[in-house]
Structures are given as structure tokens and as C-alpha cells.
Chains A and B, each alone.
Chain A
Amino acid sequence: MDDAYARSRMKRCGQVSAVVAIESADYELLVDSISDFAVVLLDPAGAVVTWNAGAERIHGWSKGEIVGQRFSVLYPKVEIESGRPARDLEAAHSSGRVEEEGWRVRKDGSRFWASVVIAALRTKRGSIRGFAQITRDLTDVRNTHELRHMVDSIRDYAVFMLDPDGHIVTWNTGAQRIKGYTREEIVGRHMSTFYPEPARLAKRPQTLLAAAARDGRVEDEGWRVRKDGTRFWANVIISAVRSDRGELIGYTKVTRDLTERKEKEELARMLAREEAARAAAQEAEARIRESEDRYRNLSARLDVILQGVADGITVQDQSGRIVYANDAAARACGLSNAAELIAASPESIAERFELLDEAGNPIPPEAVPAQRVLAGKEAEPMTARVRERATGREWWSVLKSSAVRDSAGRVELAVNIWHDMSPQRRQREAERYFARASDVLARSLDTERTFRALAELLVPELADWCAVHTFEGGVLELVALAHRDAEKVLLVERMQSRYPPKLDRSTGLANVLRTGRSELYSEITSDQVTAAAEDQQHAELLRRLDLRSAIMVPLRAHGRTFGAMTVIASSSGRRYDMMDLNVVEEIARRASFAIENARLYSEAQRAIQLRDEFLSVASHELRTPLTTLDLHLSGVIRAADRARLEQLGIEKVEQHVRKAYGQVQRLTTLISDLLDVSRIVGGHLALRPEPLELGALAREVCARFEDELARAGTPIALTVESDVFGTWDRNRIDQVLTNLITNAVKYGGQRPIEVKVEKSASFAKLSVRDHGIGIRKEDQERIFNRFERTDAARNFGGLGLGLWIVRQVSEAHGGRAIVESEPEKGSTFIVELPLDPPQRRDG
């Protein structure tokens, strides 16, 4: 309890006692009218004797209801039970007066806080005549007091009052505790004392007061400053206090220290933030881990997949360094695995290869898709011929490159795919060669031109040079040569003429011609070149031709090898493989067909020409005996018509008839020869072999020619070395000898003819030699063909069948017919017949 308050109350009570002490009737009225105090007289036992207006107002009982009752009814029940009323009276009795504050009860049972004074009333003798009890309702007082007490005792809040200007009027415990100032230190100072400098300068206190004055109340939170200078977080409520007339009396200000809360909040916030951050971090970490795992998984899986892909795949970083490669890419670069490729420098890899476009021109590095992508450009897939510089190995690739960009869109990686197009590409290339081969080879039926087209076909795409040889009748001839470098053609030709391919070798051209099988020399070493050279100069020539790789394929028709094609790679560095061999073989096959076609065509052409010529010759040859026949017979008829037969004479007529008959025989022989042609060509030359002595037959035939030869002045000499027996067709051998002697007479220029019959170990030899015009070397084989005659023989007449029949008959007997001749010196025709033919050719 506040001391000052208590002292002021005691004074007032003393004044009341003085008034009661006045014994006067006038006082009765005065007392009765007092409404602020309950003034009650009690008898010595405590019963109510008097009851004034104030008592009735305060206690609620009327005078009639209460007089006579004991005053204890005014006490709360608990006080009555504890004997308080009696003790109060005793105390008043003994000490004269009791003053107390305490709860009393109204008639309606409600309590009120009362200030009660009980004074003992004594007689003059000093005996108790009663008590005066004065009661005041202290409820309002008590409320104020309790409020003060309460306010004072509040520790958690600073509750104080401000005057209208904001100066501090009151102070409580909480204010002291929170702000650190004692009442003495702070009362009278301005509230802005509690504000930090910036808020003070910003007139924050004034603003708040104005707001409170205007709105009645304002709430604020913010930093405030303690006496010791430390700061605390305050929640402040300022309320305006106004008088009944509405005048602003001041303000109440309640300040709460929320520092702790604030700190807690801050901490919580911080913790929450930290928590959130940690959670986020964890989440992020988890996500990263997950993505790493996934990436690792994916990457591992991708690697497995990519390693299994046939395409080469590389990943390059900005610097061009390879950061990923699969094994296919490594193999394409000539390395055994991806790790080696990743370890290699980009330059060292680039140096190994040359990229060529479809036309064979080098592709500049900056045009390569990977480089374009790394340079931030678009890159279309590119088809390129990749050539390994060291080996000359070539293949076709489609190069595709795409960019991996970072979040800012910068190119981080280039992902390159090398799709090996070689099989398809080479197939296409091969088909192109085939198509071109078919085209150029079919263009001409002239074999020479076809050979040239063939040699040029593969140069320079597949070959640096190409040579075509023919091999006919044991003669090897270079018939066509193409070289990408025209100057080298002369060099090759010089080498070919100086060092023609040796036919006795077991390898190379000789072997191809002999076996009809192709040869592939994938890589020709300098040792091989040196070994193949015949001498130092040859080696030098070969070295200058720079042979690297070669393919030799036969040209064949009807199972016969008639030539070979040699395809060579030199400066291009190309290295041939089986696929190239297949291509060249196929081209050779087509070329062989074309050449064979050309040959057959030219043969057919020649055959047609020969047949036409033969028909003209045959017609001429038939007309000759017919003319003679006609002249003889028409001569006789002419004489008969003019009745001059007798004048002509029987001898002349007979002569005409005989000569005519001779011509009939001549015609018969001609026709028989013509029949032989169709017989032999049709395979119907039937022999009728019989034991025969060749010498005797020769004598017989020669005798038949005697007259004619004697007339022509041509001597004939027959030499029979010994009896030569064999089994031959008499008529056909007769025909052979007759034809040979006829020719000798025809072309012998009337010089002596020598007929000889000889015998060797296994065959009979029949020869007819003349000393006439002879036959040129190049015609010697031809004259045995059907209808063939040399130009020189053309005017000699005859069907041109004689020698052909000689050869056909000889061969039908298993023998042969040949000629040895020199122009202007004569010819010797030799027929060899088997002595005892083990097998006959019966056509």
C-alpha cells in the first residue's frame, strides 16, 4: 500500500470521529441526512439502534428492516463464521476505536469494499453504552487503488502516463525493468528519450502522439533504447486520455519488450531460413545426386549403347579436344580403343587424315561440320572421302555434327557422328563404273576403241593408271594405256617396250594370263618392286612409277583368256581390297563381253564380206566353164543352123563336144567343192579311211597333172623317201594333193614344183613346194580360211576354197596343214598326217 495514500485516509477518519462525539439533538438530523456515510449506532451487544440515509444507501437495508438486528449481518458469511464482528466490537471496547477496511455485504448479498470505523460510546462513568459505526463504500477508491497497485506491480509492461506534450508523468515497475530508469530519473523527461537517434530525428515520437490524439490510439513496433544504451524491440500502444469535456489531458503508453520475442522470431525466422536453406540445399543435393546418378547411369548406359554403334561418335569441347569417343570412332582413326583416341591430341588426329569431297578436292578444315559447330555455325551433314595419309586407305563417311549448348546458349560441345558410307558408297560407285562400262564398251564394236575405253574407264577415280594387254597366238601386246598423269604414259610405254612382261613368271600378268585368275596386290613394298626389277634401270623406272597397289584381272571369253587388265594405284596412295578387285573383275567381265561381241561382230562382218566375195567368185568361176561349154555347143549349133555341119567336119564337131564335156567335168568339180564347204561347215565331212600308201597316191596324182604341166612348161619332181603307210581317206588325200599342186601351178610362175613324201616317227609328211610369188607372213594363216585369197591371188581365179579344204581334211584326219613361205621366193605347203591315227575325227 502506498504510504501517502494511507496517511491521507487516516486524517479524514479522524475528522469523522470528532463529529460523532458531539452529543446534540441537532446532530441527529445532520447524521441522518449524510448519504455518503453509513452512520449507525449499536447497542453494547452489537444490535443496530439507529440507521441513517447513508446506511440505507450503502447497505441497502431500510431503517425498519435493520434496527434491532445484529450488525454482523453486514459482514460476509466467512467473516461472521470466523467471529470477526465480535472481535471488532471487543477491540473497539478495549481500545475505544477500530478502524479497518474490508469486505461487507449488502442486503442483496453483493459485496463492497468498505472503510469502517467502530468507536465505543461510554457513559460518564465509563461504562459501555454502545458503539458508533461509520462505514464508507470504498469500492471506487479500492478500484483506483487496485489499478494503481496492479499497474505498479505490472512487471511485464511499461505502463506510464504522458502529459499532452509527451513528458513522462508516471512510471511503473515494468517501465523501470524494461527501460532501466527509476521513477525519479525519468518523470518529467520526454518520451523521445526512449527512441533511437534516427527515429528521434525523424520525429517519430511526435508523429505517434499526433496519431494517438487524432485516432485515440496508435500502435507501433520498433527499436527503443534503454538507459544503458542497449536496444530492445518494443510493441507500443499510446492512447489519448481526455477529460469529461474532451480536453486532451495526456496519454497512456504501454510498452512491451518484444526483444525476446523478436529475437525468438528472428531466430525462428533465421532458423526457418536456415532450415529452408538447408532443406533447399538438401533437396538440391538430392536432385543433383539423383541427376548425377541418373547421368552416371545414363552415361554408362549410353556408353554401352554408343560402344555398340557402328558409327564413330566423338564429343569435342570448345578447344577441339575429344572428351568422348566410342570404339568405332577410334577404329576409324586407326586406334585400337576409345581411350587412345581421347588421349591423342586433335592435331595429331587431323594430320593422319585427308578429307576429300565427291570430286576428289580436299575439304578445308573450317568447312568440316564439327569445326563449323564449334565456331557456332550451322552444319549440314557432309559426305566426304576420308583418306588415311599413311596407308592410302579410303572410305566414305557422312559427317554430322550438332552442338550442345550451355544455359547461356554458348556452344559447349560438338557431338560428331561419322557414319561409314563406304559399303553403300562403294557399291554405288561400283554401279556407276558398271553403268559407265556398259555405256562406253557398248559404244563401239571396234575392239581397239573398246580397249582404249576400258583403260580410260577407271582413271583417275579408281586407278592412277590402267593398262590393257591382249594375248593372242602367244603374242602379248599392250593395246591400251591410260594414266592420270599424261606425262607418265610415255614412261609406262617406255618401260613396257624395254621390259615387256615376262611370260614365264609364276606371278603377275603371266600368271593371270596362264591361269585366268585375278591377282590382288594390296600393298606393294619397295622390296617387291626391287625383286621384280630385271636390272637397275628397270628398278629405277618402276620406282619412278611409284607402284603402291595393283589389281590384275583376265579378259576372258568362252573360257579362253585373251588378255588382261592391270589397274595400278600410285600417287593417290589408294590401297586396293577385295571389293575393288570385285569391281575390276566385273568391269573386265563386261569388257570381255564387249570385246568378244566386237570380235564376233567383226568376224561376222568379215564372214559376210567373204561370203559376198565368194558368191561373186563362185559366180565368176562357174561362168568360166559355162562360157566355154556354151561357146563349144553354140558353135556346133550355129553350124547346124546354117547347114554348115558338114563343112565344119566331124572332127571339129567331136572336138567341140569333148571340150564341152571337159567343162561339164570342171563344173562338177566346182560344185563338189561348194558342196564340201557346206559339208565341212555343217560338220558332215565324212571320211572313209582305208589302208593307203602315200607315195603311190602321190605318183598317181602327179601323173594326172603331167600333160597339163608339160603344156604349161612347168617341171614337176616327186620324191618319195620311203613307203608311207597309213589309214586315210583316199579321195580326200587325193583332193588335198590335187589342190596343193593346182595352187603350185597357178602361183608357181612356171618354175619347178617339188612334191615330197616323207615319214617321221609318228606322222607322214606331204609337201608341195613352188618357187612362185610366195605369201607374206601376215597372210600365211589367213589363206587357210574359207573363201580367203591373198590380194595377189585374186586375179588367179578359183573359189578360194582349196587351202581351206586342205586344212579341214588334214585336221579331220588328226593331222595339220601349214605353210612356209617367203614373198617372191615361193611357198612350201606341208601336210602332216598321223601314221596310225588312234582316233579319227568323224566330224
Chain B
Amino acid sequence: VTKVVMVVDDDESIREALASVFEEEGYTTLLAENGRVALEQLAVAAERPCVIVLDLMMPVMDGWQFRNAQKSSPTHADIPVIVVTAAGNDRSCAIEADATLHKPLNATSIVRAVEQFCGAA
């Protein structure tokens, strides 16, 4: 049974890059380009992610909106969230996150953060 890491980011290249890094570490990834898609995928996912790597600025449903929706969900509220943002500290502070990483980020730091919540793959 592989551990699932969910990646929510509107930038396709970032989703792909993160997916490559996590998969190379042995995780399974669940990708979404915005908050709404992420909520839909969580609802239907066979495996519950051990962590959600969340971008903040996204069209349709941004990171804050997603986080609020997720916290009010009885089934997914307890999934830890790692916020990955290109914005400054001020805006990212306004979200209740289990960890926050600032872009640009490298593979080692994001993998370490994920391992903190999921353990090694």
C-alpha cells in the first residue's frame, strides 16, 4: 500500500515537477489544478492522502477557500496541509497550515516536509 500525496497547484509544470519528485521517492500522487478539483478528487479518492501540498493563488477556488472547505469536511479535516506559496509571508499567514514552504523550493525540503506527516514512502 503506497502513501498518497495530494498536490493542488494551478501551474501545470509545478504539478508535474512535484509529482515526479514524490513518485521518485515512492509516493503515489493525486493532482488537482485548483481547490474545487481537489475537493472533488478527495470525495472520490480510493486512498486518503496522508498530506496535501497546497498552492494558494489559483483560479476557480484558491488555497484559502479550499482549506476552509477541507476543515469543515468531516472526513478530510484532519489531513495535514503543507502550504507552498510564491506569495510573501503576510498572505500565507492567513491560512491555518501544518507547514509552510516558500517557492522556489527544492526537492529535498519538500520531500522532508512530506515525510514529516507521511513517514517514508
Contacts and interface: CB of A to CB of B under 8 A. Distances in A.
Interface stretch (A211-219, A475-483, A630-638): A630-638
Interface in B54-107: 57-60, 62, 84, 86-88, 103-107
Given A619-B86, A634-B107, A795 B17 contact: no
A616 to B, nearest CB: 7
A632 B105 CA distance: 10
A626 B60 CA distance: 24
A630 B103 CA distance: 9
A797 interface: yes
Interface in A631-661: 631-632, 634-635, 637-639, 648, 652, 655-656, 659
Choose among B10, B13, B14, B60 the residue with the greatest number of A CB atoms under 10 Å from its CB. Answer: B13
Interface in A657-705: 659, 662-663, 666
B104 A635 contact: no
Contacts of A639: 24
B57 A635 contact: no
A663 B17 CA distance: 11
A631 B17 contact: yes
Contact of A623 (B16, B103, B107): B103
A638 B58 CA distance: 29
A499 interface: no
Interface residues of A, number: 30
B108 interface: yes
A627 B10 contact: no
B24 A652 contact: yes
Contact of A620 (B24, B84, B86): B86
Contacts of B21: 631, 634-635, 638
Interface size range on B against A: 20 to 34
Contacts of B108: 634, 638
B91 to A, nearest CB: 9
A797 B14 CA distance: 13
Contact of B86 (A624, A632, A637, A662): A624
A630 B86 contact: no
A794 B91 CA distance: 14
A574 B45 CA distance: 83
B57 A620 contact: yes
A631 B88 contact: no
Interface string A599-633: 00000000000000000100110011111111110
A648 B57 CA distance: 32
Given A623-B86, A624-B86, A639-B24, A631 B107 contact: yes
B18 A631 contact: yes
B110 A631 contact: yes
A796 B59 CA distance: 5
Contact of A627 (B20, B57, B59, B105): B105
B87 A635 contact: no
Contacts of A666: 13
Contacts of A663: 13
Contact of B104 (A623, A659, A796): A623
Contacts of A797: 10-11, 57, 59
A627 B58 contact: no
Contacts of A638: 21, 107-108, 111
Given A623-B104, A626-B104, A638-B107, A631 B20 contact: yes
A659 B13 contact: yes
Contact of B14 (A616, A627, A655): A627
Given A626-B104, A631-B106, A638-B108, A795 B87 contact: no
Interface in B23-60: 24, 57-60
A652 B16 CA distance: 13
Given A616-B87, A795-B59, A630 B104 contact: yes
A139 to B, nearest CB: 171
Given A620-B87, A626-B104, A627-B104, A632 B10 contact: no
Nearest to B61: A795
Nearest to A638: B107
B14 A628 contact: yes
A656 B20 contact: yes
A702 B21 CA distance: 33
Nearest to A666: B13
Given A624-B11, A634-B107, A648 B59 contact: no
Nearest to A793: B59
B103 A626 contact: yes
A655 B10 CA distance: 21
A627 B107 contact: no
B82 to A, nearest CB: 14
A754 B11 CA distance: 24
A749 to B, nearest CB: 10
B16 A659 contact: yes
Contact of A628 (B11, B58, B110): B11
Contacts of B20: 631-632, 635, 652, 655-656, 659
Contact of A795 (B18, B58, B88, B105): B58
A631 B62 CA distance: 22
A794 B110 CA distance: 26
B13 A630 contact: no
Nearest to A660: B17
Contacts of A662: 13
Contacts of B105: 627, 630-631
A648 B20 CA distance: 11
B12 to A, nearest CB: 9
A630 B106 contact: yes
A626 B104 CA distance: 6
Contacts of A632: 17, 20
Contact of B24 (A616, A627, A648, A794): A648
A54 B33 CA distance: 203
Contacts of A624: 11, 13-14, 86, 103
Contact of B17 (A616, A627, A648): A627
- In the A-B complex, the 6 residue pairs with the smallest Cβ-Cβ separation, listed nearest first, are A634-B106, A631-B17, A623-B86, A634-B107, A626-B104, A627-B103
Interface of A: 616, 619-620, 623-632, 634-635, 637-639, 648, 652, 655-656, 659, 662-663, 666, 794-797
14 contacts: A616-B88, A624-B11, A624-B86, A624-B103, A627-B14, A627-B17, A627-B86, A634-B106, A637-B107, A638-B107, A655-B20, A663-B13, A795-B10, A795-B57
Given A627-B86, A631-B17, A635-B24, 15 more contacts: A624-B14, A628-B11, A628-B13, A630-B106, A631-B106, A634-B108, A635-B17, A635-B107, A637-B107, A638-B107, A648-B24, A655-B20, A659-B17, A794-B57, A796-B10
